Amino acid sequence: MTPKYLWLVALVALYILPIQSLNCVYLDDTILENVKLLGRTMTGFPLRCLKDITDFKFPKEILPYIQHMKKEINAVSYRISTLALTIFNLKGSIPPVTEEHWERIRSGLFDQVRQAHECFMDEEKENREHPHSEDFLTVYLELGKYFFRIKKFLINKKYSFCAWKIVTVEIRRCFIIFSKSRKLLKMTSGKIGKGNIYKPGKRHRSQQVYTIKPPLVDPRVTVPVAAGFGR
């Protein structure tokens, strides 16, 4: 690389970090856009589907942890986005809507996953010397169980129209709850992402340190139903 282009590379490197951090700024907007998209695409609820409604037992107990989890909120955001995209990537089902609308939903979810991943990577670099807390592990596991129940319901109902209707309504509700929690966290702390002070949570008796590797999810690759979900 010639020296005269070095200044251009340096300029890009200088601004690449702030540009990357902008993903965290737009993540909240992306989540809200997907909420609107799911509501516009899946309008109405047929009375006949009321007989299939069930309680997916959303883990409400993690909400207090999420509202105080300043340094690991992006990891939680990435976890939720990834699990939701996994649900909508399940193959072997009749989509409840047209293919065009279905692709639009998947594309929106993919953008959300990508932005959440960027935010998570930035957060991981900051927390390199600080392992995740026990609270984060609890949240991580509970979210896994929750989306597992959703997936199991979908399979049991054989990906029926009403099942997809109910699952769509449930995932939309999950996004709303998480978005409100992020908003409350932002209001109390003022900032999410870089620069947040690590707040150590409760430790396990064995003082084990848990390190989580974010799985890379490619929307073009169909994830098998029984593949490593909920771990």
> Taking CB under 8 A as the rule, does residue 156 contact other proteins?
no
Distance of CA 41 to the CA centre of its chain: 20
Q: Which residues contact 194 (CB under 8 A, 6 or more apart)?
A: 21, 24, 122, 123, 126
Q: Which of 5, 7, 18, 51 is in the footprint of other proteins by CB under 8 A?
A: 51
Chain center to CA of 28 = 11
Q: Which of 141, 162, 169, 212 forms a contact with other proteins (CB under 8 A)?
A: 169
Whether the Cβ atoms of residue 49 and residue 166 lie closer than 8 Å to each other? yes
**Smallest distance, other proteins to C-beta of residue 32, A:** 5
Distance CA 204, CA 219 (A): 35
The residue among 173 and 199 lying less far from other proteins, judged by its C-beta, is: 173
Token pair, residue 164, equals 């997809």
Q: Are 90 and 159 in contact (CB under 8 A)?
A: yes
Q: Which is nearer to other proteins, 45 or 148 (CB)?
A: 45
What residues between 175 and 194 interact with other proteins by CB under 8 A? 176-177, 180, 183-184, 187
Residues that bind other proteins (CB under 8 A): 32, 35, 43-48, 50-51, 53-58, 60, 166, 169-170, 172-173, 176-177, 180, 183-184, 187
